[in-house]
């Protein structure tokens, strides 16, 4: 059998052809992000956040992005090698988060994303990076609600489809009068105008709303700690980003950036936050 030899010129042409194919396919992945492209030579990174939660993740009318999750995600992206201008922000609504990760539409999600057993069947989590609790928001001058049981016979507001208010009625205050509105802003308006007596969801979300300029001094947190909500950063199942993000989160805590982000986003609401959680330690 004769062995076919490749000439030097032919070899060079073949190498150039392969290089062209490699660059083309790599470039397509870079601009599209997702599927764990971050850290594999990508030029951009796509991150899922909330667009409608002040203090957590908010897209402002002028197109900017603010909030604790935005600050955390920006820090993590920088540790992964991406500058703020390299980040593509994508809205991650609660019901869409697992799908966005599974399809590879985003590289990771930081969107008040509580770690739980059901979600861990579908995606992996780095963190937690914040321990929040279900709580209630009250009018600053209301002294009639000082403990969870005082919610009996009170009008308790939450958004349509949320389980927070129902949890209170089922487990804590069976006589609470549930009021469901389309959004938290409507609940806040109702609370301010004394149409409802309390608003319930995660304390971090409540603090974010209360910290807004138009609401400063009008509301207070009950501090009831009705549940533990471990916020994690979601990644596609099996992604090697989990370990890299955990390393970035540990650095963020140790260098003081975590404390700065908490004060910046929640401080105006006098949010009594838990200390930074130990990365990898989910509080039951």
Task: Tell whether the model's pLDDT for residue 6 goes beyond 80.
Answer: no
More confident residue, 151 or 213: 151
Give residue 268's pLDDT: 79
Q: Could you tell me the pLDDT band of residue 40, with boundaries at 50, 70 and 90? A: low
Residues 6+ apart with CB under 8 A from 77: 38, 45, 47, 84, 86, 87
Give residue 30's pLDDT: 36
Task: Tell whether the model's pLDDT for residue 174 goes beyond 80.
Answer: yes
Evaluate whether 31-132+230-269 and 134-221 have a shared fold: yes
Burial of 264 (0-12, 13-18, 19+ CB in 10 A): middle
Distances (CA, A) of 1 to 4, 5, 26: 10, 13, 39
- Over pLDDT 90: what percentage of the chain? 71
Least confident of 18-27, 196-205, 260-269: 18-27
**Which residue ranges make up each domain of the chain?**
31-132+230-269, 134-221
Mean pLDDT of 236-252: 98
Q: Could you tell me the pLDDT band of residue 3, with boundaries at 50, 70 and 90? A: very low
Q: What's 134-221's CATH class?
A: alpha beta
Enclosing H/E stretch for 30 = helix 8-32
Task: Tell whether the model's pLDDT for residue 271 goes beyond 90.
Answer: no
| pTM of the entire predicted model | 0.80
Mean pLDDT of 136-147: 97
For residue range 191-229, what is the model confidence (pLDDT) as tens digits? 999 999 999 999 999 999 888 888 888 999 999 999 999
Distances (CA, A) of 237 to 84, 159, 174, 234, 261: 25, 30, 39, 9, 28
* Beta-sheet strands, E only, within 14-167: 45-49, 52-53, 57-59, 65-66, 87-91, 108-109, 123-132, 134-139, 155-159
For residue range 52-102, what is the model confidence (pLDDT) as tens digits? 999 999 999 999 999 999 999 999 999 999 999 999 999 999 889 999 999
Q: Could you tell me the pLDDT band of residue 39, with boundaries at 50, 70 and 90? A: low
Q: What's 31-132+230-269's CATH class?
A: alpha beta
Give residue 267's pLDDT: 83
More confident residue, 35 or 264: 264
Q: Could you tell me the pLDDT band of residue 166, with boundaries at 50, 70 and 90? A: confident
Give residue 161's pLDDT: 64
Distances (CA, A) of 218 to 118, 147, 195, 215, 235: 37, 19, 15, 5, 38
Mean pLDDT of 107-135: 96
């Amino acid at each position: 059998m004769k062995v076919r030899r490749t000439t030097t010129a032919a070899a060079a042409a073949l190498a150039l052809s392969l290089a062209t194919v490699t660059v083309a396919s790599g470039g397509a992945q870079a601009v599209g992000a997702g599927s764990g492209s971050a850290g594999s030579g990508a030029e951009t990174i796509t991150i899922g956040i909330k667009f409608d939660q002040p203090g957590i993740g908010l897209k402002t009318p002028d197109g900017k992005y603010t909030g604790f999750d935005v600050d955390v995600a920006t820090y993590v992206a920088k540790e992964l090698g991406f500058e703020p201008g390299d980040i593509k922000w994508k809205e991650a609504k609660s019901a869409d988060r697992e799908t966005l990760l599974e399809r590879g539409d985003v590289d990771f999600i930081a969107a008040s994303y509580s770690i739980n057993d059901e979600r861990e069947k579908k995606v992996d989590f780095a963190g937690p990076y914040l321990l929040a609790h279900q709580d209630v928001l009250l009018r600053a001058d209301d002294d009639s609600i000082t403990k969870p049981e005082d919610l009996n016979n009170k009008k308790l507001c939450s958004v349509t489809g949320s389980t927070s208010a129902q949890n209170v009625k089922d487990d804590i205050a069976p006589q609470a009068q549930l009021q469901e509105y389309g959004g938290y802003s409507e609940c806040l308006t109702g609370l301010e105008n004394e149409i409802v007596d309390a608003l319930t969801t995660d304390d971090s979300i409540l603090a974010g709303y209360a910290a807004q300029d138009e609401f400063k001094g009008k509301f207070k947190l009950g501090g009831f700690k009705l549940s533990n909500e471990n916020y994690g950063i979601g990644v596609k199942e099996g992604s090697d980003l989990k370990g890299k993000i955990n390393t970035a989160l540990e650095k963020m805590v140790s260098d003081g950036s975590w404390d700065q982000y908490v004060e910046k986003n929640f401080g105006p609401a006098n949010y009594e936050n838990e200390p930074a959680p130990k990365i990898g330690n989910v509080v039951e």
